[in-house]
Chains A and B, each alone.
Chain A
Amino acid sequence: GDSVTQMEGPVTLSEEAFLTINCTYTATGYPSLFWYVQYPGEGLQLLLKATKADDKGSNKGFEATYRKETTSFHLEKGSVQVSDSAVYFCALSDPNRDDKIIFGKGTRLHILP
């Protein structure tokens, strides 16, 4: 079945460092890909999405490109802030099949001032 694999955390970086969180997926169809973020004490919220190959999703300085050839959707940010400390979930969904989203296990990010 469909699945998402993302790098295990925690990831600890200093403020202004470059961030990459790796995510790869397995899917039989043509899924949409997402990154969700969960700040402490809150629910998940959509950070960015890409709905077809070569699309780039971006939001709040974060970017991810839908790479069909490598089945990847890596999350990047050029200069992280302390406020980016959170748990990041990579996810996929195939709306042609059903309504569900398949989430990765999450990567906890700590940014040190």
Chain B
Amino acid sequence: DARVTQTPRHKVTEMGQEVTMRCQPILGHNTVFWYRQTMMQGLELLAYFRNRAPLDDSGMPKDRFSAEMPDATLATLKIQPSEPRDSAVYFCASASTGTYNEQFFGPGTRLTVL
């Protein structure tokens, strides 16, 4: 049963600390998305990659957020330094081109910045 995995599932940190979230897309999927979900803003697209190349990161605060795909099996989202307003659930999703853009979501990382 292929699925997207994310680690850690929960993270509590203090303001100013670096946070790294990891995602393993479904094997064979060539597009990876990072979303942030909060009660106030709902679901926001932060960035996405196709074939490991960043295509759109316009939704991401550039001064503190960075997203990379070191290889086809790993995507990372880093926040440095973290702030309380970054508290949210961060989802990774993957998709395969040619499948009507159907996305498969991971379980999310719940981040709390104190």
Contact = CB atoms under 8 A, between A and B. Distances in A.
B90 to A, nearest CB: 10
A98 B73 CA distance: 22
A99 B54 CA distance: 12
B101 A43 contact: no
A49 B102 contact: yes
B27 to A, nearest CB: 18
Interface in B80-114: 91, 93, 95, 97-98, 100-108
Contacts of B31: 99
A43 B91 contact: yes
Interface residues of B: mostly helix, strand, loop or mixed? strand
Interface in B43-80: 43, 45, 48, 50, 55-56
B101 A100 contact: yes
Most A C-beta atoms less than 10 A away, residue of B50, B56, B103, B104:
B103
A100 B46 CA distance: 11
Nearest to A34: B102
A22 B50 CA distance: 32
Given A32-B100, A49-B100, A93-B101, A100 B45 contact: yes
A106 B100 contact: no
Given A93-B101, A99-B33, A106-B43, 15 more contacts: A32-B100, A43-B107, A44-B103, A45-B104, A45-B105, A46-B104, A93-B100, A95-B101, A98-B55, A99-B55, A100-B48, A100-B101, A103-B42, A103-B43, A106-B42
